[in-house]
Amino acid sequence: MATPLKANKPVPQPASGSDIHCASVSRDPAVLAEIYEPNINIAIWERAFSEDFQCLINDFVASRQQPYLSAVCAAEDARAQLRKELGAHFDEIADDIAELVDMFCCLFDLNQVGLRMTVLRNTMCPKFHVDHVPCRLVTTYCGIGTQWLPNDAVNREKLGIGSAGKADQVSGIYRAENDIQQIAAASVALLKGEGWQGNQYAGLVHRSPAIPQGESRLLLTLDFSN
């Protein structure tokens, strides 16, 4: 089990676009606290699952009749709540999610989080966009991970209606295909949004990847909840 994160929660100061280095990446879960740095808008904890755990996840996806789970979870209740929601056979998955809930609550001093777990068989958000939230935790338990763009590779004028309805590959939102980065399955990422104090016009630009026909993706997101 990872050590719960703690941060002093400094007031973030604005960073100009040229000052945003964008990513902090490590195999140490403490890297997630780097999201408080004003020049970071994505922090990635690189981790890997055991073969047995991955097989359990695949069983869960295959057995899941309801395509998504949406809940509000408090850290102290998350394990019991998730074990009940997922079923006894998937206690290990519930425990892993509960640990992430605890880390997220600890890092941001939250009493509860908004949780959404979705089995995707079609692409969810196919165009690059920003989230109008302070920060979101994203992890893909199986399938293709979330794609994102480094800040210095983004033409933000092409976000939303600025794309004139054009697909990302022709809208001009990025310069070249190799600008597109991808979060590996199992890795846990914090995506700083436009709602973070001092991060206006600097929210992480990201999208859901295209899902190959016949494949699935299991996505977990955690958000602030009042």
Q: How far apart are the C-alpha atoms of 40 and 91, rounded to whole Å?
A: 34
Please report, in angstroms and rounded to a whole number, the separation of the first and last CA atoms in the chain. 27
Tell me if 80 is assigned to some domain: yes
Mean pLDDT across the chain, nearest whole number?
90
**What percent of the chain shows pLDDT beyond 70?**
89
Query: How much is the pLDDT for 13?
Result: 43
Question: What is the total count of domains within the chain?
Answer: 1
What separation in angstroms does the CA of 59 have from each of 54, 55, 62, 67? 9, 6, 5, 14
Contacts of 178 (CB under 8 A, 6+ apart): none
**Site of tokens 């408090």:** 74
Percent helix, strand, coil in the chain (nearest 5)?
Answer: 30, 25, 40
Tell me if 209 is assigned to some domain: yes
CATH assignment at residue 26: 2.60.120
What domain range is 33 assigned to? 20-224
Tell me if 4 is assigned to some domain: no
* Residue 131 CB burial class (10 angstroms; 0-12, 13-18, ≥19): buried
Q: Which tens digits make up the pLDDT trace of 193-220?
A: 999 999 988 999 999 998 888 899 999 9
Q: How far apart are the C-alpha atoms of 138 and 219, rounded to whole Å?
A: 7
Query: How much is the pLDDT for 20?
Result: 58
Look up the pTM and report it. Answer: 0.90
Tell me if 12 is assigned to some domain: no
Neighbours of 67 (CB within 10 A): 11
Angle 15-184-45 (CA atoms, 0-180°, nearest 5)? 55
Give 220's DSSP letter.
Answer: E
Tell me if 9 is assigned to some domain: no
Tell me if 72 is assigned to some domain: yes
pLDDT higher at 185 or 200? 185
Least confident window among 14-18, 24-28, 99-103, 220-224? 14-18
Tell me if 123 is assigned to some domain: yes
Tell me if 11 is assigned to some domain: no
Q: How far apart are the C-alpha atoms of 195 and 132, rounded to whole Å?
A: 5
pLDDT higher at 122 or 10? 122
Q: Which tens digits make up the pLDDT trace of 107-159?
A: 999 999 999 999 998 766 689 999 999 999 999 999 999 999 999 999 999 99
Q: How confident is the model at residue 15 (pLDDT cuts 50, 70, 90)?
A: very low
Contact 168, 182 (CB under 8 A): no
